[in-house]
Amino acid sequence: MSRLYPRLAFAALLASALAAASVVHAANRVVTIHNKTDVLMTEFYASNVDTDDWEEDILGEDVLRPGQSFDVDIDDGTGACRFDFKGVFDDGDEVVKKNVNVCKVGSFSFTSGK
């Protein structure tokens, strides 16, 4: 019976490691985007840091008025946590924030200083 205990302990350790790996892969990537400026946001992009393309405009036909916010699940299916954000505003300004960890932040604000 003494040979069985190390095998059971190893099996339990392996199972817990696999469970932890699946939790990391299933990280919450929902981020609340806030428009804390006094200008209408007309476009919002979130692209994996490993791509040179901004992908599609997440707002689509919608806009984000000053003081408004919205929740977005920033999950491109790769398991990545780091994304670049870009907000495009009605006054022509484009604001880019690089390397946002969407697995750790719950919200992101565009502010008056953009």
Check residue 112 and give its pLDDT. Answer: 83
Query: What single letter denotes the amino acid at residue 34?
Result: H
Check residue 106 and give its pLDDT. Answer: 93
Check residue 27 and give its pLDDT. Answer: 75
DSSP state of 59: S
Q: Is the pLDDT of residue 44 over 90?
A: yes
Under 8 Å between Cβ of 90 and 42: yes
15: enclosing H helix or E strand: helix 4-25
* 64-60-58-65 Cα dihedral, nearest 10 degrees: 0
Q: Is 37 exposed, middle or buried (0-12, 13-18, 19+ CB in 10 A)?
A: buried
Higher pLDDT pick, 22 / 78: 78
Average pLDDT over residues 23-39: 84
Six token digits for residue 48 = 């994996």
Q: What is the mean pLDDT of the chain?
A: 85
Six token digits for residue 23 = 């939790």
Check residue 22 and give its pLDDT. Answer: 42
* 44-99-111-89 Cα dihedral, nearest 10 degrees: -30
Average pLDDT over residues 34-56: 96
**For the structural domain made of 28-111, what CATH number should be given?**
2.60.40.2890
Q: Is the pLDDT of residue 4 over 70?
A: no
DSSP state of 106: S
Question: Going along 1-114, which residue ranges are E strands?
Answer: 30-36, 41-48, 69-73, 82-89, 94-101, 107-111
Q: Is the pLDDT of residue 23 over 50?
A: no
